[in-house]
């Protein structure tokens, strides 16, 4: 069945959703994006995604005001028109169409595109099975705090991970883990600390990360925001990733070595349960 997508003010059949070949999103990855999960037909953490979008647009000086665009209304309408119970809404805003030039035009009209993808999220098998990751150097640009569509390197690494027979990559820089290909990375120590890299331009400030850290503190875990090494992760009791679509998913193996006993553990399972409960309570 054909989806309904959204392009610059119009809801259209997906075959009619078109963007110019001169769009700077296509030519320069001059675009920012958000991925918002949908559960039971409702949006997870919408306000936080909108706030981060606003920040990304500001950092890129793309002249688009999310608050004036009723993005919530557009998200809801797309979910409704596509009868989406569970999955995601993808939103992208590029600087728009202009003759190819390295100079960013100041007066362009941004291109706004949204589409849905149906996916099983809450009962995804990875949550029960756990992820096997390999490590690799983090060769991305150094403004990873901005959610741009410049995703070539993480896409290459994710593909390499699957070709190597594992599920994903944890990227490493100067000896410390930065992130997964499209997720934040965390560990839980034997003495009840949750260690996660502090916010900086080295990583994306994950919306799921922020929610899970707050919930972890409420359950009595001590949250320590600092870089950690792969050896620390291997010595941890449990490890996990967070993202809008993975929620909280255990990592059971790094470079062929088991984390903890090599199986998904109870604390990560509890964090996932709690995140899902809270998210379901606050759906928009
Ligand atoms: N990616 N770090 C990176 C590099 C990411 O691409 C993502 C999310 C995250 C987690 O952020 P959040 O919890 O806000 O989703 C961290 C999305 C899901 C994607 O590109 O599909």
Q: What is the pTM of this model?
A: 0.98
CA 99 to ligand 1 center in whole angstroms: 31
Q: Whose Cα sits closest to atom 4 in ligand 1?
A: 182
Active site residue 147: yes
CA neighbours within 13 Å on the CB side: how many for 38?
24
How far is Cα of residue 58 from the mean position of the Cα atoms in its chain?
A: 19
Residue 239 burial (CB count, 10 A): 28
- Cβ(87) to ligand 1 under 6 A? no
What is each CA distance from 184 to 83, 180, 203, 212, 241, in whole angstroms?
30, 6, 8, 11, 5
By residue count, the chain amounts to 284
Ligand 1, pocket-test mutation among 56, 116, 206, 275, most atoms within 8 A of CB: 206
All residues at 6 or more sequence positions from 273 whose CB lies less than 8 Å from its CB, including other chains:
none
CA 243 to ligand 1 center in whole angstroms: 5
CA 244 to ligand 1 center in whole angstroms: 6
Ligand 1, pocket-test mutation among 31, 32, 33, 35, most atoms within 8 A of CB: 35
Q: Whose Cα sits closest to atom 1 in ligand 1?
A: 182
Residue 142 burial (CB count, 10 A): 10
- Cβ(245) to ligand 1 under 6 A? yes
> Do residues 153 and 140 make contact, with C-beta atoms less than 8 angstroms apart?
yes
pLDDT tens for the chain, 284 residues: list them.
799 999 999 999 999 999 999 999 999 999 999 999 999 999 999 999 999 999 999 999 999 999 899 999 999 999 999 999 999 999 999 999 999 999 999 988 999 999 999 999 999 999 999 999 999 999 999 999 999 999 999 999 999 999 999 999 999 999 999 999 999 999 999 999 999 999 999 999 999 999 999 999 999 999 999 999 999 999 999 999 999 999 999 999 999 999 999 999 999 999 999 999 999 999 99
> Do residues 6 and 52 make contact, with C-beta atoms less than 8 angstroms apart?
no
Q: Whose Cα sits closest to atom 6 in ligand 1?
A: 182
- Cβ(183) to ligand 1 under 6 A? yes
CA 97 to ligand 1 center in whole angstroms: 26
CA 212 to ligand 1 center in whole angstroms: 14
> Do residues 230 and 261 make contact, with C-beta atoms less than 8 angstroms apart?
no
Ligand 1, pocket-test mutation among 184, 209, 211, most atoms within 8 A of CB: 184
All residues at 6 or more sequence positions from 11 whose CB lies less than 8 Å from its CB, including other chains:
4, 5, 77, 78, 81
């Amino acid at each position: 069945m054909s989806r309904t997508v959204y392009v610059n003010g119009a809801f259209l059949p997906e075959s009619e959703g078109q963007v110019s070949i001169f769009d700077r999103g296509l030519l320069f990855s001059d675009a920012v994006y958000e991925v918002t999960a949908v559960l039971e037909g409702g949006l997870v953490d919408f306000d936080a995604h909108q706030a981060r979008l606003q920040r990304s647009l500001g950092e890129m000086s793309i002249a688009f005001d999310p608050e004036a665009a009723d993005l919530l209304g557009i998200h809801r309408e797309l979910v409704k028109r596509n009868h989406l119970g569970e999955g995601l809404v993808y939103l992208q805003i590029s600087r728009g169409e202009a003759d190819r030039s390295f100079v960013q035009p100041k007066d362009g009209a941004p291109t706004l595109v949204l589409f849905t993808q149906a996916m099983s999220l809450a009962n995804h098998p990875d949550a029960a099975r756990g992820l096997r990751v390999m490590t690799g150097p983090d060769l991305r640009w150094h403004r990873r705090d901005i959610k741009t569509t410049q995703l070539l390197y993480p896409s290459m690494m994710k593909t390499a991970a699957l070709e190597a027979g594992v599920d994903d990559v944890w990227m490493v820089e100067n000896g410390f883990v930065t992130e997964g290909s499209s997720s934040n990375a965390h560990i839980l120590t034997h003495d009840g600390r949750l260690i996660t890299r502090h916010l900086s331009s080295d990583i994306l400030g994950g919306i799921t990360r922020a929610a899970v850290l707050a919930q972890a503190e409420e359950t009595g875990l001590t949250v320590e925001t600092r870089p950690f090494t792969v050896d620390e992760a291997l010595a941890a009791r449990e490890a996990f990733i967070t993202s809008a679509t993975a929620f909280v998913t255990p990592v059971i193996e790094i470079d062929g070595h088991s984390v903890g006993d090599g199986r998904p553990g109870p604390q990560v399972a509890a964090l996932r349960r709690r995140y899902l409960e809270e998210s379901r309570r606050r759906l928009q």
